[in-house]
Structure 1
Amino acid sequence: MEHLIRVQNDYDRQVLAWLRGRIGDAALQSAVHRLAGPRKPYLSTLCRSLGIRPPSRRQFAAETARIHRAVGDSYLARIREILAKAPAQEAQRQ
């Protein structure tokens, strides 16, 4: 999709992924073609033409942090399971 829209930074990539999930590729391509000109449209221009306000950088950061915490928590739970089994296995060996 980046070949149709001007994406300049990571925030733009996040907004583009969010927008693709929200309205779908077909609707996004249709909107891009309506804005067609000599240059690729900016993502902000595309959002304004669709009447959609994307999440802020802070909202994306909060969501990313939430996902990272969830992943970290699942790894810690797995490590705790392994460590809980270790004393039982050591006792069986003796």
Structure 2
Amino acid sequence: MEHLIRVHNDYDRQVLAWLRARIGDAALQSAATRLADARKPYLSTICRSLGIRPPSRRAFARESARKSARAHRAVGDLYLARIRAILASPAGAQH
């Protein structure tokens, strides 16, 4: 979609991904084509024309932190399971 819409930074990429998930590629492409004059439209212009307000940078940061915390917890749980397996084995009890 970046070939149709101006994307300048990570926040723009997050908003674009959010819009694609929310309204779909076809609707987004239609809006971008309708709003394009000689240049690609900004994401803010597309959102305004659709009557949609994207999440704030802070909301994206919170979601990212939650995903990161879930990933860290999954890795920690995996390591704990391995440690427990080692300690439960007869060879692990001798150490």
The answer to whether the superposition gives a TM-score over 0.5 is: yes
2:73 matched to which residue of 1?
73
Q: Structure 1 unaligned runs (5+)?
A: none
How much is the aligned-residue C-alpha RMSD, in angstroms? 1.5
| One-letter identity of the residue aligned with 2:33 | H
| Structure 2 length-normalised TM | 0.93
Cα offset for 1:87?
A: 1.6
- Provide Cα deviations, 1:16-64, integer angstroms capped at 9, x if missing partner: 0000000000000110111120000011111001100000000000000
The correspondence of residues 1-94 of structure 1 with structure 2, limited to 5 A, is 1-89=1-89, 90-91=91-92
Q: How many residues align?
A: 94
Tell me the percent identity. Answer: 61
| One-letter identity of the residue aligned with 1:53 | R
CA 29–84 in structure 1, closer or farther in 2 if over 3 Å, else same: same
Runs of 4 or more, structure 1, over 6 Å off, are none
**CA–CA distance in 1 between the matches of 2:29 and 2:36?**
10
**CA–CA distance in 2 between the matches of 1:17 and 1:86?**
43
CA 91–63 in structure 1, closer or farther in 2 if over 3 Å, else same: closer
| Structure 1 length-normalised TM | 0.94
